[in-house]
C-alpha cells in the first residue's frame, strides 16, 4: 500500500494580504530571491567555524548521518514548495530559468556536479576545508535551485521587523554561548538566525513551507554531552538487558554482567557503538521527515513519532542477537567482522520497513478527514 505523502503543489493558507506570482521581470521577486540566497550564504560564512567543528563529529560513526541531513532538509523544501511547475512544467510549457541565464534543470545539474566534484576532490586529498566548501556549494546551490520560481509575497514592515528580531536573537544567543563557552547554544543559534532570515525575506508565507526544513537541521548536530553521556549508558544497559531476554527465549546459554553478554563462554560487550544511539538518532530523524511529508491525520503522525524509539531499540536488539548467534556458530573472523560492521547498516532498512508496515496498518485503521486533520504539519491557517 502506497504511503500517502504530501503531494507537490500543496500551498499554505495565506499569511500575507497579497498572493504573488514569480517572475524574473518583477524586481521585487528578483531581489527577494537574491536576498534570500545571499543572506543564507553570509550566514554560512559567519558560522563557518561552528559548521567545521560540527563536521568533525560527522567523521565518527555515532553522527555519520550528519552529512545527509541538509540534503534531506532540501528535499523537504522541494516536496512542500508551492509552485512545483517551475522546475517540472506541464508538457508543452517551458521550465523556469535561473535569472534568465539558463534553464533551472541545467543550473541544478551544474551546481550538483560542481559541488560533488569539489567535495570528492577534498575527500580524496584529505583537504577538509576544500571538502567543506564543496558541501556548502551543494547545499547553497540546492537551496537556490529549490527556490527558483517560488513566489515571494509582499512582506509588511511588522513582519520584516519580526524577522530581523529573530536574527538578532540568534546572534545574541551566539554571543552568550561564546562568552560562557556553551557550544550547543552556539549551534542552535544558527537555526534561529536561519529561520529569522526566512521570515525577514519571505514573511510567514515562506516560513510556513520552508520552516519545517530549517527545524529539521537540528538533527545534523551532535547531542549535548550532558544529555549524550547518561543516554549512552542507559541505552547500553537497555540493549544488553533486552538482548539477554531474547537470547534466553531462543534457548541460548547466556549470562549478563552489566553491558557484557556471555553466550556459551563467548563474552560480547555491548559497547557505546552498539548501544543503539546511532540507530536512534538516525531513525528519529527519518521518522520526523516522514511525518513532515505525510498527508495523514495528526494522530497517525503522532503514533509514528511515538513508535520511533521502540522500533529503534527493537532493531538494535535484533542486531546484537544476530551478532551473538554468529559468534557462537562460526569462528570465521571475516564472517564475524562483516556481521558486526555491516549489520548496523542493514538494520536501518529493516527499521524503515517496520515503519512502512506501521503506516500501512494505520492507513487501514484510520481515515483522513480532508480539511480537518488531513493537512500536513506546518501548513494551515495562522493569524498574522
SS3 string of 248-309? HHCCCCEEEECCEEEECCEEEECCHHHCCHHHHHHHHHHHHHHHHHECCCHHHHHHHHHHHH
Separation CA 32–CA 152 (nearest Å): 7
What is d(CA 277, CA 288) in angstroms, rounded to the nearest whole number? 16
What are the distances in angstroms from CA 156 to CA 13, 161, 171? 17, 9, 23
86 grid coordinates = 517551475
Please, how many CA atoms are within 13 Å of residue 279, restricted to the half-sphere of its CB? 31
How many Å apart are CA 157 and CA 302, to the nearest integer? 36
Cβ within 8 Å of residue 262, ≥6 positions away = 254, 255, 256, 268
Q: Is the pTM of this model over 0.95?
A: no
- Would you state the pLDDT for residue 43? 97
* Amino acid 141: pLDDT: 96
Q: What is the pLDDT of residue 13?
A: 43
Q: What confidence score (pLDDT) does residue 346 get?
A: 72
Q: Block means of pLDDT (10 residues each) for the chain, length 384 residues? A: 42 50 93 97 96 90 85 94 91 90 95 95 90 94 96 94 98 95 95 98 96 95 87 84 90 84 79 69 86 83 88 87 82 67 71 85 70 42 36
Amino acid at each position: 500500500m502506497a504511503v500517502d505523502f504530501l503531494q507537490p503543489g500543496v500551498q499554505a493558507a495565506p499569511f500575507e494580504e497579497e498572493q504573488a506570482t514569480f517572475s524574473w521581470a518583477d524586481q521585487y521577486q528578483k531581489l527577494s530571491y537574491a536576498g534570500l540566497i545571499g543572506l543564507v550564504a553570509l550566514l554560512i560564512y559567519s558560522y563557518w567555524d561552528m559548521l567545521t567543528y560540527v563536521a568533525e563529529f560527522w567523521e565518527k560513526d555515532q553522527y555519520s548521518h550528519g552529512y545527509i541531513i541538509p540534503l534531506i532538509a532540501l528535499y523537504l523544501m522541494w516536496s512542500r514548495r508551492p509552485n512545483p511547475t517551475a522546475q517540472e512544467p506541464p508538457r508543452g510549457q517551458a521550465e523556469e530559468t535561473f535569472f534568465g541565464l539558463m534553464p533551472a534543470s541545467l543550473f541544478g545539474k551544474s551546481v550538483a556536479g560542481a559541488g560533488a566534484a569539489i567535495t570528492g576532490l577534498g575527500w580524496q586529498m584529505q583537504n577538509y576545508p576544500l571538502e567543506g566548501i564543496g558541501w556548502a556549494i551543494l547545499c547553497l546551490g540546492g537551496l537556490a535551485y529549490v527556490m527558483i520560481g517560488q513566489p515571494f509575497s509582499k512582506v509588511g514592515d511588522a513582519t520584516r521587523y519580526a524577522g530581523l528580531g529573530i536574527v538578532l536573537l540568534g546572534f545574541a544567543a551566539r554571543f552568550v554561548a561564546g562568552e560562557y563557552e556553551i557550544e550547543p547554544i552556539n549551534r542552535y543559534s544558527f537555526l534561529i538566525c536561519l529561520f529569522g532570515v526566512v521570515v525577514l525575506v519571505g514573511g510567514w508565507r515562506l516560513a510556513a513551507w520552508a520552516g519545517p526544513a530549517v527545524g529539521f537541521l537540528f538533527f545534523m548536530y551532535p547531542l549535548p554531552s550532558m544529555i549524550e553521556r547518561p543516554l549512552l549508558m542507559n541505552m547500553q544497559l537497555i540493549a544488553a538487558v533486552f538482548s539477554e531476554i531474547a537470547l534466553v527465549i531462543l534457548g541460548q546459554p547466556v549470562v549478563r554482567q552489566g553491558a557484557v553478554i556471555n553466550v556459551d563462554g563467548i563474552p560480547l560487550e555491548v559497547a557505546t557503538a552498539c548501544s543503539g544511539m546511532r540507530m536512534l538518532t538516525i531513525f528519529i530523524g527519518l521518522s520526523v521527515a516522514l511525518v513532515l511529508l505525510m498527508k495523514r491525520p495528526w494522530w497517525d503522525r503522532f503514533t509514528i513519532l511515538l513508535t520511533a524509539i521502540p522500533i529503534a531499540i527493537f532493531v538494535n536488539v535484533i542486531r546484537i542477537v544476530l551478532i551473538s548467534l554468529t559468534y557462537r556458530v562460526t569462528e570465521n573472523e571475516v564472517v564475524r567482522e562483516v556481521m558486526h560492521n555491516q549489520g548496523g547498516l542493514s538494520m536501518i532498512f529493516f527499521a524503515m520497513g517496520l515503519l512502512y508496515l506501521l503506516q500501512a496498518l494505520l492507513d487501514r485503521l484510520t481515515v483522513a478527514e480532508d480539511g480537518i486533520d488531513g493537512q500536513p504539519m506546518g501548513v494551515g491557517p495562522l493569524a498574522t
